[in-house]
Structure 1
């Protein structure tokens, strides 16, 4: 249903090549990122108390096209339950419908990946068999460190600490991957493709303009039934936990090994708000504003619990899916402590 090669081609063209850098400089950046990622493993373990086997998930230092290709592979896995559901309901596409439809969706996915491909610094992909993979996008890291005027050595280690924390989360907590994929399958079970296609565009236009209540939303806000939104609320709680935990770790470890961490965080938070009007619009429509809220709210939750009970008791959150915080508990750490501890 999606022409993935077209998505890669469109995304690569839109993302652009990245900053000007000599071949020797590029080699040095790649080598430093690999070293920093390896160094981060023990730093994350010591700070969090989570023990993950080393080198279980391979590290790839990639350029923008490499990140885009890797994400088409991940999307293919993540969308497979929904594609299967739509095929079951409507039958497989054939003929002209298949040829044209796959290229349209390929171009749309490529446009999204092209926008993100110039911004993402790193990513842990838990759905890559057998144990996931860690991606660091070298040109974007160089671009942002230059934009912020950050010390390159400090900034690269800071980014690696965040992404290595995600690797530890999924490899030290082996049920997390299956739990998230199970939620995606539940979401697919709730999918009603005819209803989605009939009124999805109308609701999307209303949301991006501002609905009756004046609130603007993202794609996820407007294309979901109440049941889907319930699942999305659960996933929002989980993703807020994962992103907030990684932010707390990178800033908590930082002062001992990254002299300029406080200044990096200050400048980086300003950058996260988006640049011009078009950038802010695309961030809102694609749900990136909600993603930024996950970093902020999740970090407040983690700090709130750790300050109250300590890191060891906080780590109970990783013992069982029932211990994961709800979206409401992310905003109320004391409620999670009361329920779980």
Structure 2
């Protein structure tokens, strides 16, 4: 456990995600790394303005993408309601986001609208379907990018964390594997906000929560992944997810980061090892690896996430949350905070969430 305060870790996680989103704005979705280096130099070290003809054209360095904007809507809902009120969050999407969309990718706040949000817009606005019938099959991290605020808010209550993250995820993404991996990321982030480290022991702690019925995953092995013995009863299902594997991945990535015989050099090449595309199964291993390798170095983690190209915005957003929870707000270099557009407003919002999250944890 770290000696940082709960509020410091909570603020670090939320602001780390916001910073990661803004850092990825300019160099977003370059799958040709030579083109990325031509446009932004050999090493991206700060916020950048998107180039003409690229994603997010017209925005400025330090702006948020639509993912960051939706995250702020979630944070505003939590701060105003003092709890997760799904009706309130959905109302904000209906009133503050969907009127600005037209169902096409290169349109809307932040300069780009993701697949899952476009599908939800079509079902909600064009087809007039109720919330709850709006989810599609995108296999991306788009739900993580907003529910990470729920993970911070309910860090002290894993059962509430899992319930709210799952409920919010299916508003836009219904694939059960994606939902389980999204909930698992939230559970990991919640543990880091509590003060645990992203290390080889973390997954066993998460499996303990499964066995206690606090996380909705099914486990068939005994402690330390030992096989069941003859005559052992089938363990009761803790919830909806058939496999706990999404909870085991983080510690494998942490072991890889700590193993002197496994070196990814430079670390930005994690994008080549685990994959540059958008799918959740490419993004999470890279984010876990970087967050474990640079657990006390926010700058290195976020810059290696961005410089790896591909879907570097999501990679930086997720890495920023995980590392920010470990370094705390006080461990984030000031220049990353100062460079954000509307930094004062975002810092006040993050403070409100962190204060309420600590109150939630204190009531348990």
Q: Which has the higher contact order (CA 8 A, sep 6+)?
A: 2
What is the TM-score with the length of structure 1 in the denominator? 0.29
User: Which of the pair has more CA radius of gyration?
Assistant: 1
What is the TM-score with the length of structure 2 in the denominator? 0.27
Whose helix fraction is larger, Structure 1's or Structure 2's? Answer: 1
